[in-house]
Amino acid sequence: MATQYNKRFRKIIYEFINIFILIIGFSIAYKCTFKTSFLHYDNYYSTFLKITLFIWLFCSFIFNSVDEHQGWKFIYHFRTLIKTYILFMLLEFIYLVGFKVTFFSRMFLSSFLMITFFLLVITYFLRYQLLRWIRSKGRNFKSVLVIGKLPTGYNNENWNILKPEWGYRIEDVIDVDVESKDYILLLGEYLSKKKYDEILITNPSHLGENIEAIIDLSENNGLRIKIVPKFFNNYGNRVKIDYLNGTPVMNVRYEPLSYFHNRIIKRFFDLFVSIIFIITIYWWVHILIGIAIKLTSKGPVLFTQKRIGVDNKTFKIYKFRTMAQNKDINNAREGIGQITKVGDSRITKVGEFLRKTNLDELPQFLNVLLGCMSIVGPRPLMIQEDREVQKKIKKYRIRQFIKPGLTGWAQINGYRGGTENMKLMSKRIQHDIYYIERWNSLFDLKIIWKTAWQMITMNTQAH
């Protein structure tokens, strides 16, 4: 079992390793900046190193960055490191500005922060992999008694808790659907025979009025308790506790972008990127593509069409025109008409290239600037398609909880373009919901990078 003594000892070791990493990063930056021995700092930098180590220990304590969490994926440890490092950099700058430190080299500070962050990420990843390996060998685990059936996770996959590398071991199971005995008495018998670290209740509704007594008995034996809601499989796999007038309530679907500060972060990023892109790239790309469109077909350069956006509201989306003009153009602008298919005869030669490279979507940076779209989000459908799909696919409207995007998690995984195949569309919706529940800035950057790479290599599966 994972004893508290061993855990505290490992946390001390991890913190010493982090301190060592900071000293190494400091030394390398000093050596690279001043071309001198990193074993002999001058008095100013020697003092700054001591202050830096103190600031790091304070930040690490605030976010508990060296703690071990059973069942956590690396991304959660990485987020904790990010928070710790952001506070660390902020306090470093406050110290330098507040105390009007004038001797300092900006090159050194930049090098130190980048090198140290890189080394810490590698260290955290190696530590995470080492812990998983140790746990897979049957060590450093928490012993669990399950009351109810063994749970299944999202999409009916077995919980990671059943895998030894996550640090849990299911010792015994009291099946409340089978056992007809007094559950409190039965639990007491189990606790008297064996030592557990945690109790996992997976069928709380089946216990009825016994659940309070079971919780009391467990806590009186020094055990922590976790409860799995019965409806877990039917809703999102990430729930959130909120409060209504002081009363705790459970949101069945965690949405990071339902929080104002996260929307501000995403909007600021959208504005920054779209303004830079429009000023530096879009204006001349628009001229070149516009000339190509005009030389090969009649009609305007841009095509506008009504689409469904956040909260089921309509907006006009901008695209480079990729099809020949015909009598149905007015219906198309209203979002009503024939859905584009592979090999559609209406697509021009230039339009085929634009669609394959996703260049036809570039004018949507104007939509981002206007605030009706985001750079990353679920792709908006035309009105007619939206109405048809929401009748056939459950939970379709969830994707409209946030602004639509130029690109998205579904698109970089191959689920893009108009499709009449409901199985493919269902997969697309699942990817959109996955993004909504797991949004963070790093996730956006990952999607943007993959989108750019697919555009460069023309491996987009667009149609």
Tally of CA atoms within 13 A in the half-sphere of 351 that contains its CB: 25
d(CA 455, CA 432): 20
pLDDT of residue 214: 85
d(CA 346, CA 295): 17
Strands in 224-227's sheet, in edge-to-edge order, are 168-174, 142-147, 198-201, 224-227
Residues 6+ apart with CB under 8 A from 134: 140
∠404-409-411 over CA atoms, to 5°?
A: 80
d(CA 217, CA 7): 26
Strand partners, 241: 250
pLDDT tens string, the chain, 463 residues long: the values are 444 446 677 788 889 999 999 999 998 998 888 877 655 667 788 888 999 999 999 999 888 888 766 656 777 778 888 889 999 999 988 888 877 777 778 888 889 999 999 999 999 888 888 877 877 776 767 788 888 776 554 444 445 455 655 667 778 888 776 555 677 888 888 888 888 888 888 877 777 777 888 888 888 888 888 887 665 555 555 667 776 666 777 777 788 898 888 899 899 999 999 999 999 999 999 999 999 999 888 889 998 999 999 988 999 999 999 888 777 777 777 777 666 666 677 888 898 888 888 888 999 999 999 999 999 999 998 888 888 888 888 888 889 999 999 999 998 998 876 667 788 888 999 999 999 988 988 899 999 999 888 888 766 554 4
pLDDT of residue 441: 86
List Cα–Cα distances, 215 to 4, 169, 176, 184, in angstroms. 22, 20, 15, 10
Residues 6+ apart with CB under 8 A from 75: none
d(CA 284, CA 302): 15
Are 251 and 244 contacting, i.e. CB atoms less than 8 angstroms apart? no
The 8 Å CB, 24+ separation contacts for 9-15 are 10/68, 11/66, 11/67, 11/68, 14/66, 14/127, 15/57, 15/60, 15/66
Task: List the one residue out of 116, 48, 59, 64 whose CA is nearest residue 86.
Answer: 59
pLDDT of residue 280: 93
d(CA 266, CA 441): 7
Are 403 and 313 contacting, i.e. CB atoms less than 8 angstroms apart? no
d(CA 95, CA 109): 13
pLDDT of residue 41: 62
pLDDT of residue 463: 40
pLDDT of residue 267: 94
d(CA 267, CA 369): 9
d(CA 434, CA 409): 8
List Cα–Cα distances, 422 to 181, 379, 425, in angstroms. 48, 16, 5
DSSP code, position 426: H
Residues 6+ apart with CB under 8 A from 423: none
Question: What sign does the CA torsion over 326, 331, 335, 336 have?
Answer: negative
pLDDT of residue 274: 93
List Cα–Cα distances, 233 to 145, 151, 238, 369, 428, in angstroms. 21, 9, 11, 38, 19
